[in-house]
């Protein structure tokens, strides 16, 4: 635990024992924000992460940011100056993406259950709709006819393989995501007959994967599949979105992904098979949490400290209503602590404490028997790895507490 926390905390730095975000000590930042709890994102950590990814990926591979990971407007605007494209999953995210400097043709709209109204907006905007079903194809075609526009589309494919080691599987077997690979040739014929502007393929088979060899294997299988499907394409393949799924370490048993191994494998794949076969295709890697997850911290204040039958509880003013994932109730089968530390200067000796949120449910557990330097009421606790799937993936209305501010520093 100590090592995971140290690794998660190190990039932020400390000033006189106080954690800093963007160089600002968090007690001062809390005063600036005016309230706790809040989320703070470190701008320079996002920038260096994008640079690191670009350095590892082969030349010419485009990087797309999956807005769902963190749609905070300031963060999105910062990222839009760093990446090549944005991937959105709803009409709301589409609106936000269109407010950035990323051109519509570099925005993709993926995800199941896109309504006719959302698809009409996407066609009017000129973004690439990642078709996930023939219903969506019909809706897009109809929207194009109504608007007098040629919809730009790609096919999201549900592959005939699953990716080992993904925290969340989004491909292989029966899925609500994408069009089953074996049905793709028939759908490509429909796309051609409908005169849609066919761009290419999108395969996103899994998320939160820390195993480089599994990601490499998935990329190999994806390239093979795309080359096979391309034979039935109604025109040249202009875009191949290979997905992503790069994971970040959340708990003591996680080890950071070997990014260079993934990049080297991809370079070989591109040189040997993808680029010779599909020379006109832009190759896209789509990442959410890997770009922002480790750049964010959730800061919450100790409001009570009590001992119950030998266990010391630190009760904080935040909880699972803001940072559900840290309570273990979002994407974990077995609850494990997220890295967490005292953010203000230590006041007492190291002790074992249980950190709980302020909601009246035992699920609101943020740190189960963690070792922390003595913390008092008023001190700040930092929960790391909070930059992705934090606030927007949490039940903020639960128990009626106010929503926390978010700041980009
Ligand atoms: C289509 C698509 N793209 C991108 C992502 C982002 O995944 P991550 O944040 O793990 O990189 C997801 C996650 O569910 C997804 O479904």
Same domain, 247 and 104: yes
Q: Which residue in 320, 339, 295 sits closest to 393, CA to CA?
A: 320
Do residues 247 and 185 share a domain?
yes
The answer to whether residues 325 and 181 belong to one domain is no
| Beta partners for residue 284, in sequence order | 62, 241
The set of catalytic residues is 360
Ligand 1 in reach of 152 Cβ (< 6 A): no
Residue 245 Cα to ligand 1 middle (Å): 7
**Is 98 a domain residue?**
yes
Per residue in 81-132, pLDDT (tens digit) is: 999 999 999 999 999 999 999 999 999 999 999 999 999 999 999 999 999 9
Q: In this structure, are 211 and 278 located in the same domain?
A: yes
Q: What is the pLDDT of residue 135?
A: 97
Same domain, 384 and 242: no
Structural domain for 259, as ranges: 71-287
Mean pLDDT of 358-386: 97
Tally of domains within the chain: 2
CATH number at residue 310: 2.40.37.10
Residue 56 lies in a domain: no
Residue 208 Cβ contacting ligand 1 at under 6 Å: yes
The pLDDT tens digits for 52-90 are: 999 999 999 999 999 999 999 999 999 999 999 999 999
Residue 49 within any structural domain of the chain: no
| 239 and 152 share one domain | yes
Residues 275 and 300 in one domain: no
Nearest-atom number in ligand 1 for the CA of 290 is: 11
3-class state of residue 242 by DSSP: strand
Q: Angle between the 43-56 and 73-80 helix axes, to the nearest 10 degrees?
A: 40
Q: Is residue 58 one of the residues assigned to a domain?
A: no
Q: Which of 170-179, 300-309, 398-407 has the lowest mean pLDDT?
A: 170-179
264 is a domain residue: yes
Residue corresponding to tokens 């494998």: 265
Q: For residue 337, how far is its CA from the centre of ligand 1 (angstroms)? A: 23
Is the bond preceding residue 300 a cis peptide, omega within 30 degrees? no
Calpha distance 343→323 (Å, rounded): 17
The residue with tokens 């939160």 is: 208
- Looking at residue 2, what is its pLDDT? 47
Q: 66 CB under 6 A from ligand 1?
A: yes
Ligand 1 pocket test target in 97, 129, 207 with most atoms within 8 Å of CB: 207
Res. 340: pLDDT tops 90: yes
One domain for residues 275 and 179:
yes
In 3D, which of 303, 290, 257, 300 has the Cα closest to residue 391? 300
Do 302 and 245 reside in the same domain of the chain? no
Summarize pLDDT for 198-220 with one digit per residue, the tens: 999 999 988 999 999 999 999 99
Q: Could you read off the pLDDT of 243-288 as tens digits, one per residue?
A: 999 999 999 999 999 999 999 999 999 999 999 999 999 999 999 9
Q: Angle at Cα 397 formed by Cα 118 and Cα 27, nearest 5°? A: 110
Q: What is the mean pLDDT of the chain?
A: 96
Task: Indicate whether 61 belongs to any domain.
Answer: no
Domain boundary among 253, 287, 321: 287
What CATH number is associated with residue 130? 3.20.20.10
Placement of tokens 């066919």 in the chain: 198
- Judge whether 52 lies within some domain: no
**For the CA of 293, the nearest atom of ligand 1:** 9
Q: Is 122 helix (H, G, I), strand (E, B) or coil?
A: helix
pLDDT score at 286: 98
Q: Are residues 340 and 208 in the same domain?
A: no
Q: Which ligand 1 atom is the nearest neighbour of the CA of 130?
A: 1
Tell me the average pLDDT across 175-201.
Answer: 96
Which of 257, 287, 317 represents a domain boundary (last residue)? 287
Model pLDDT for residues 223-255, shown as the tens digit of each residue: 999 999 999 999 999 999 999 999 999 999 999
Cα(207) to centroid(ligand 1), Å: 6
Same domain, 307 and 166: no
Sequence-separated (6 or more) residues with CB below 8 Å from residue 28 = none
Rounded to the nearest angstrom, the distance between the alpha carbon of 99 and the centre of ligand 1 is: 21
Q: Is residue 278 part of a domain?
A: yes
338 shares a domain with 221 = no
Which of 287, 322, 338 finishes a domain? 287
| Whether the predicted pLDDT of 171 surpasses 80 | no
């Amino acid at each position: 635990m100590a090592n995971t926390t140290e690794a998660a905390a190190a990039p932020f730095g400390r000033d006189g024992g106080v954690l800093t975000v963007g160089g600002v000590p968090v007690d001062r930042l809390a005063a600036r924000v005016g309230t706790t709890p809040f989320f703070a994102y470190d701008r320079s950590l996002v920038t260096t992460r994008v640079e690191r990814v670009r350095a590892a990926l082969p030349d010419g591979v485009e990087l797309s940011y999956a807005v769902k990971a963190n749609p905070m407007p300031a963060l999105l605007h910062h990222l839009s100056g760093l990446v090549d494209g944005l991937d959105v999953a709803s009409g709301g995210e589409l609106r936000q993406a269109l407010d950035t400097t990323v051109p519509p043709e570099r925005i993709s709209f993926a995800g199941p259950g896109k309504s006719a109204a959302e698809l009409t907006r996407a066609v009017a905007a000129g973004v690439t709709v990642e078709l996930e079903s023939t219903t969506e194809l019909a809706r897009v075609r109809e929207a194009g006819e109504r608007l007098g526009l040629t919809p730009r589309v790609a096919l999201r494919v549900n592959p005939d393989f699953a990716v080992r080691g993904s925290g969340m599987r989004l491909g292989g077997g029966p899925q609500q995501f994408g069009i089953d690979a074996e049905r793709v040739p028939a759908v490509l014929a429909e796309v051609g007959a409908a005169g849609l502007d066919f761009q290419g393929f999108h395969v996103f088979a899994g998320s939160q994967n820390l195993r480089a060899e599994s990601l490499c294997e998935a990329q190999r299988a994806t390239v093979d599949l795309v080359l096979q499907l391309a034979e039935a394409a109604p025109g040249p393949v202009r875009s191949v979105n290979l997905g992503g799924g790069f994971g970040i370490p959340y708990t003591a048993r996680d080890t950071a992904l070997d990014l260079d191994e993934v990049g080297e494998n991809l370079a070989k794949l591109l040189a040997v098979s993808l680029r010779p076969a599909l020379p006109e295709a832009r190759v896209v890697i789509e990442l959410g949490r890997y770009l922002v997850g480790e750049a964010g911290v959730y800061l919450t204040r100790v409001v009570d400290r009590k001992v119950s039958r030998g266990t010391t509880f630190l009760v904080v003013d935040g909880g699972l209503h803001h940072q559900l994932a840290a309570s273990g109730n979002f994407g974990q089968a077995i609850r494990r602590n997220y890295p967490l530390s005292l953010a203000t200067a230590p006041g007492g000796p190291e002790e074992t404490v249980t950190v709980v949120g302020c909601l009246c449910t035992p699920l609101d557990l943020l740190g189960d028997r963690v070792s922390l330097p003595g913390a008092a009421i008023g001190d700040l606790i930092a929960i790391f790895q909070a930059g992705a799937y934090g606030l927007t993936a949490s039940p903020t209305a639960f128990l009626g507490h106010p929503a926390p501010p978010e700041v980009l520093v």
